[in-house]
Structure 1
Amino acid sequence: RIVAPCALSFLGLAAFDRWACTSRSARIRKLSSIRTAYCIVLITVLFWSLLSIPFLSFFDLIPPTYTCGFTNDLFQKITNFFLAPILCAIFPLIVLIVFGILTYRNLHLMTTINGQQQSVTTRLSMWEQQITRMMIIQTVLNVSCALPQCILLIYTIATVQQSAMKSLDQIYIEYLLAQLCEFIVCLDFASSFYIFFLSSSRFRQTTKMYLKRLLHLESNQVTPFNISASTVPGTGTKTHYRQN
């Protein structure tokens, strides 16, 4: 009840960080810092930890099947109609979409302004294109991975009154879909490295360089060095004088 909401919140915070670090405002760019990240992560974990405290009292094993379920009808309605759909699905999805659009707008504006300046080099322009490509792909993937779970939660809420009439096969199918949605969300958390690696040649070069340093695979460099014949022992000519 803590890990999954925190993970979805971190996706939204990552989208916010991408928007902040590409902003033209220096005040907004200051928000993209390690110190700010530590504070926000701590606040997020504390928020979801406090919000999950009622589950300790109103969530338990229910006989005769002894499966986990709610023991309080009011808290069950709050969870099904507010916590799960709004805070855990719809709100993170909206945050990803909004900050994804704002990040694309910042990058497009940055590229347009730099394109109008004559002092911008080709290398900088290529790097900005790679950054733009990476951020757009990651934002689209984040939204795509969060969308199935959001749709499933909306379906679950819409059919919550029919839970008692569902057949065993329908329950198994819904459980399978829930596991698939969670698996898709988990894939999103491991996708950043592969997105950066596949879409950025500079990132691939940097990764290759650090791997060589880590595994001590640096290529040997041969430095030319001229050695004169007079400095090599045994190559000089000797003159022998015969004494009469």
Structure 2
Amino acid sequence: MSSNTMLIRSITIYSGLPIFICGTLGNLLNIRFLWRTRRNPCAFIFLVSSFFNCIVLFYGLFTRILSVGFILDWSNTNRIWCKTRIAFTEASFLISITCICLASIDRCLVSCRQEKYRRLSRLPLTQRAIILISIFWLGHSVPYIIYAELIYSSKTGLTSCLLLINTTYANYLRYIALPVYLGLFPSTILTITGVMTYKNTNKLQILRQRQLIQKQLTSMMLTQIPIILFSTLPYIIFTEYTAITSTMIKSTSQREIELLLTNIVTILFYITFACPFFVFFASSTSFRQEAKMFILCQKTNLFRTNRIQPYSKTIIKTIQPAIAKGN
């Protein structure tokens, strides 16, 4: 076994396992803390996103740790697992990323001065949007279930899980699905809505309102944006580079370096789905207090006002008179 292979295995195990363990526990804690405020549209989106993050970390990262780090690849021996792993991983990626974009849009709407925009932030509308998004991305992943097959190679004597698709669909995945759905769209939406939300909150006249909205609606989202860009863009860029240069003749050392970089950017990619709990903990005082009380096994007062609540109807009622007074 070459030194490069050993290095790749070590990076996968010693970097991937902490991300998987911390990310899974963090997302489960998110579900625990956000459950009481699930009637809030923004909290409900975070709740759904945390659930799909757990699926991403299991189907994507954990199985990669087993296959690369411990040479235990179930997808090469089980046909059902071969098909479902690719499909569920892809769908969970896209659903989770889309939920983050929805949360950012929701915060932008509720921070607007116009009441007609704030009224668009409603739980029934949010639930319908998430259902439609889930159906769409699950349908988008159906071809993976259809075309993924176990293929035996006579040259290597090994069986591998491969996606048997035509050139047109392969080009669609390479040049549209990956760079646009995981790169361009989320980055653009998060950046635009984040800037608009920050500007909207700065226009509020009452300091208390500004603090509540800016801390509860903006801080967690704005903190996630650079992390998402940092973890997803290198993966997308390098994956595109690998696909474009796949037909080029490369030296052995170049292939080894690219294989090592592929492993590194892939591990970094999963930080997006593992970081929400730590982002919320660092950027939200109320979330941090809730987490500390849970970890210390202290009882919480269900009626205390400092609950984890990205947005509330009380704030909506107080904003309107303030805006009218300011105008």
Distance in 2 between the 1:80 and 1:174 partners? Answer: 18
- Please, what TM-score do these two structures have when normalized by structure 2? 0.53
Alignment-derived partner of residue 18 in structure 1: 107
Alignment-derived partner of residue 201 in structure 1: 285
Kept after mapping to 2: 8 A contact 1:93/1:147: no
Q: Give a deviation string over 1:197-237, Cα, whole Å, max 9, x none.
A: 2233344334445667x64489xxxxxxxxxxxxxxxxxxx
Kept after mapping to 2: 8 A contact 1:62/1:69: no
> What is the 5 A alignment of 1:92-131?
92-110=186-204, 114=205, 120=206, 123-128=208-213, 130-131=215-216
In structure 2, relative to structure 1, the CA distance for the partners of 1:55 and 1:217 (3 Å cut) is closer
In structure 2, relative to structure 1, the CA distance for the partners of 1:142 and 1:21 (3 Å cut) is farther
Distance in 1 between the 2:189 and 2:282 partners? Answer: 25
In structure 2, relative to structure 1, the CA distance for the partners of 1:177 and 1:142 (3 Å cut) is same
> What is the 5 A alignment of 1:218-229?
none
Amino acid at match of 1:73: T
2:170 pairs with 1:76: yes
SS for the counterpart of 2:202 is: helix
- Please, what TM-score do these two structures have when normalized by structure 1? 0.68
Select 1:28's aligned residue among 117, 124, 133. 117
Kept after mapping to 2: 8 A contact 1:89/1:149: no
Kept after mapping to 2: 8 A contact 1:15/1:139: no
Kept after mapping to 1: 8 A contact 2:198/2:214: no
Alignment-derived partner of residue 242 in structure 1: none
Kept after mapping to 1: 8 A contact 2:101/2:190: yes
SS for the counterpart of 1:161 is: coil
In structure 2, relative to structure 1, the CA distance for the partners of 1:126 and 1:72 (3 Å cut) is closer
In structure 2, relative to structure 1, the CA distance for the partners of 1:88 and 1:188 (3 Å cut) is closer
2:159 pairs with 1:66: yes
Distance in 1 between the 2:177 and 2:279 partners? Answer: 31
Over aligned residue pairs, what C-alpha RMSD do you find? 3.1
Alignment-derived partner of residue 232 in structure 2: 146
Alignment-derived partner of residue 48 in structure 1: 137
Alignment-derived partner of residue 242 in structure 2: 156
User: How many Å apart are 1:157 and its aligned residue?
Assistant: 4.0
- Worse-superposed segment, 171-180 or 182-191: 171-180
Distance in 1 between the 2:264 and 2:215 partners? Answer: 32
SS for the counterpart of 2:226 is: helix
Distance in 2 between the 1:174 and 1:182 partners? Answer: 12
In structure 2, relative to structure 1, the CA distance for the partners of 1:39 and 1:182 (3 Å cut) is farther
Kept after mapping to 2: 8 A contact 1:12/1:92: yes
Q: List gaps (5 residues or longer) in structure 2.
A: 1-89, 302-327
In structure 2, relative to structure 1, the CA distance for the partners of 1:189 and 1:31 (3 Å cut) is farther
- Worse-superposed segment, 193-202 or 168-177: 168-177
Amino acid at match of 1:55: Y
Q: Give a deviation string over 1:34-68, Cα, whole Å, max 9, x none.
A: 22222122111211121222223333334415332
Aligned-pair identity (%): 26
Kept after mapping to 1: 8 A contact 2:174/2:240: no
Distance in 1 between the 2:175 and 2:123 partners? Answer: 35
In structure 2, relative to structure 1, the CA distance for the partners of 1:168 and 1:73 (3 Å cut) is farther
Q: How many residues align?
A: 206
Alignment-derived partner of residue 136 in structure 1: 222
Kept after mapping to 2: 8 A contact 1:21/1:29: yes
Amino acid at match of 2:171: K
Q: Give a deviation string over 1:50-108, Cα, whole Å, max 9, x none.
A: 12222233333344153324342232122212222222322222222222222222223
In structure 2, relative to structure 1, the CA distance for the partners of 1:44 and 1:146 (3 Å cut) is same
Kept after mapping to 2: 8 A contact 1:20/1:32: yes
